[in-house]
Amino acid sequence: MIKNALVLAILGISLGCFGPSNNTERGAVQGAVLGGILGAVIGHQSGKGGEGAAIGAAAGAIVGGAAGNEEDKKSGKK
């Protein structure tokens, strides 16, 4: 499971750099990937890896998107 999570993290971060056009989108994608992985690892310890991954991905997307949005506002992109 950890190997799959690492592959997904590398893929998600790589795609996050090429696909989204602004910092808001990029931050949301990268936050979701990293949050999902962290949530899966933490959830795995309690036997609920899938739930942890879903919660982590949602929280990561929100936090990453908010951080990216702030960067967009500072640079005048949005």
| Residues 77/23, Cβ–Cβ less than 8 Å | yes
**Mean pLDDT rounded to a whole number for the chain:** 81
| pTM as predicted | 0.70
How many whole angstroms separate alpha carbon 26 and alpha carbon 12?
10
Mean pLDDT to the nearest integer, 40-60: 87
How many whole angstroms separate alpha carbon 43 and alpha carbon 59?
14
Backbone angles phi, psi at 21, to 5 degrees: -95, -15
* 31 band by pLDDT with thresholds 50, 70 and 90: very high
How many whole angstroms separate alpha carbon 55 and alpha carbon 58?
5
What's at 32, amino acid-wise? A
Domain boundaries, the chain: 2-75
Q: Is the pLDDT of residue 3 over 70?
A: no
Is pLDDT larger for residue 35 or for residue 2?
35
Mean pLDDT to the nearest integer, 38-46: 87
